[in-house]
Amino acid sequence: MMVLPARRLAAELGAWRTTGPAYGALADRIRLLTLDGRIPLGTRLPAERELAAQLGVSRTLVAAAYARLRSAGYVESTRGSGSVVAMPGREVPAYDDGGAGVVLDLSKAALPAAPQVGEAAARAAQELPAYLNGSGYDPLGLPRLRQALADRYAARGVPTAPGQIMVTLGAQHAISLLARALLGRSDSALVEAPSYPHAYEALRAAGRRLLPVAVDARDGWDDDGLEQAFRRGRPTLAYVMPDFHNPTGAVMPAAQRDRLMAAAARQDTVVVADETMAELRIDADPTPPLAAFGPAVLVGSMGKTVWGGLRIGWIRAEEDLIHRLVQSRYAQDLGTPILEQLIALEMLGTYDELLLLRSRQLAEGRSHLEGLLHDALPAWDVPHVRGGLCTWVNLGAPVSSQLALAARDRGLLLGAGPRFGMDGVFERFLRVPFSYPAEDTRRAVGILAAAWRSLDTRVPVRDDFAPALV
């Protein structure tokens, strides 16, 4: 059984205190960590006395918080095992929707499958027999697909050979492969704050320490912070998302890309650029990939542009690093499924057409969400992003975790701000995707408005965006 140390839980809790009862705030925060998966089910929580000492509160307060979690089904206590994290045996509450019990899950910044996917899969299935005489195990990927991806990079201004491409099981797999190949237990990694939470997890698992650099939705990357992180931290690896950054939507200017790569070169740091959002432009001008400014490793994926169910990603790097990745990959998996690679090849044949469709879809979704939030929650600061799948809303108060919990109780799943940071920060922010169907977005804003009202009745919120009970 995994045991969660009191110090680790205190770091995850962050700024957990609110204006309500302290024991209730502590219980709600632990509940959110459980629902977000940051505390795995079956984990034993710290003893009441240990957590109380770490938080600087009374043991009675912690005991009351644990009792509240126990009564709600989020904690089970057995003799000899202490307080163990559990999940209540019920569905997430939802608005009555004609008995359908619909739950809106906007916790993922994602699009529905592109309309071409079905036909592409059918054509790929017809090609599959030509590959059945082989073993099917290939850690590099199909030569045709690697060539097609290399040609696409060349068209974007980065000449690439097929030997510089490895096909992976999505972007997350690519990040994990790179982290394990490049980082040792004594190494540090530069990361953005906020950032993609699963990248944090992969880098933490492989390295010693994460060096955060601030990214703001309006002001972008902290130039001084970048310089200091390279100079003082001497990171072995730097993980960045320079195009339509997740979750802020920021885009790194060309001049700053140049400074970033120069600083990395001085410290011999390997820069990994996550480009999963890079081609989801709405009204932004194309920016050259980071590899055009220096020897950056690029990570791409079809999960955001085509469909999350198509587990195809790739790494573009120098050939010597690709060879290292091949050797380390055998310890984790034996290659990417052939059929999915064939589907990816089919999709690349009409990829530019698909990206134009996505641009129109996202422009409509962005405009719709901005209008709804302006009318229903005018006090919120909603940045106008120029691409990507989401916006990083400033709530104006450090209540993101409370709001996410209140929204969950009403049937809406959203990622609270601290999910995208370290040590419980970003309580003033909420990631809100604009990539979902218009009706889902309208209903989601209605639920958010009701949840916001439940936190503070002094905040003026209009009622005409409540979910339709039909």
CATH number of the domain residue 10 falls in: 1.10.10.10
Same domain as 340, residue 393? no
* pLDDT tens-digit map of 64-115: 999 999 998 889 987 667 899 887 753 333 333 333 334 799 999 999 999 9
62: containing domain: 6-85
- Domain CATH number, residue 270: 3.40.640.10
**Is residue 92 situated within a structural domain?**
no
- Domain CATH number, residue 109: 3.90.1150.10
Highest averaged pLDDT of the listed ranges 208-222, 329-343, 364-378, 454-468: 364-378
pLDDT tops 70 at residue 36: no
Sheet order of strands, 313-316 included: 165-168, 313-316, 297-301, 270-274, 237-240, 188-193, 209-216, 220-221
How many CA atoms, within 13 angstroms, populate the side-chain half-sphere of residue 272? 31
Mean pLDDT of the region 290-312: 97
Same domain as 425, residue 360? yes
* pLDDT tens-digit map of 185-235: 899 999 999 999 999 999 998 977 999 999 999 999 999 999 999 999 999
**Is residue 464 situated within a structural domain?**
no
Same domain as 315, residue 183? yes
Check: CB of residue 221 under 8 Å from CB of residue 389: no
**Which two structure tokens, joined as six digits, stand for 263?**
């600083």
Same domain as 318, residue 175? yes
At 20 the pLDDT is 77
**Is residue 461 situated within a structural domain?**
no
Rounded CA gap, 336 and 342, in Å? 11
**Is residue 270 situated within a structural domain?**
yes
**Which two structure tokens, joined as six digits, stand for 232?**
């003082």
Same domain as 345, residue 375? no
Mean pLDDT of the region 120-140: 96
Confidence of residue 456 (pLDDT cuts 50, 70, 90): low
Same domain as 330, residue 182? yes
How many distinct structural domains can be found in the chain? 3
pLDDT tops 70 at residue 462: no
**Is residue 29 situated within a structural domain?**
yes
Mean pLDDT of the region 442-450: 97
The overall average pLDDT reported for the chain is 90
Same domain as 253, residue 135? yes
Same domain as 152, residue 36? no
Same domain as 363, residue 317? no
Same domain as 169, residue 81? no
Residue predicted with more confidence, 258 or 455? 258
* pLDDT tens-digit map of 311-330: 999 999 999 999 999 999 98
Check: CB of residue 213 under 8 Å from CB of residue 192: yes
Q: Give the count of beta carbons closer than 10 Å to the beta carbon of residue 98.
A: 9
Same domain as 408, residue 395? yes
Mean pLDDT of the region 308-313: 97
**Is residue 337 situated within a structural domain?**
yes
* pLDDT tens-digit map of 22-35: 999 899 889 888 87
Mean pLDDT of the region 366-381: 98
Strands (E), 37-136: 75-78, 82-85, 104-105
**Is residue 1 situated within a structural domain?**
no
**Is residue 75 situated within a structural domain?**
yes
Same domain as 238, residue 376? no
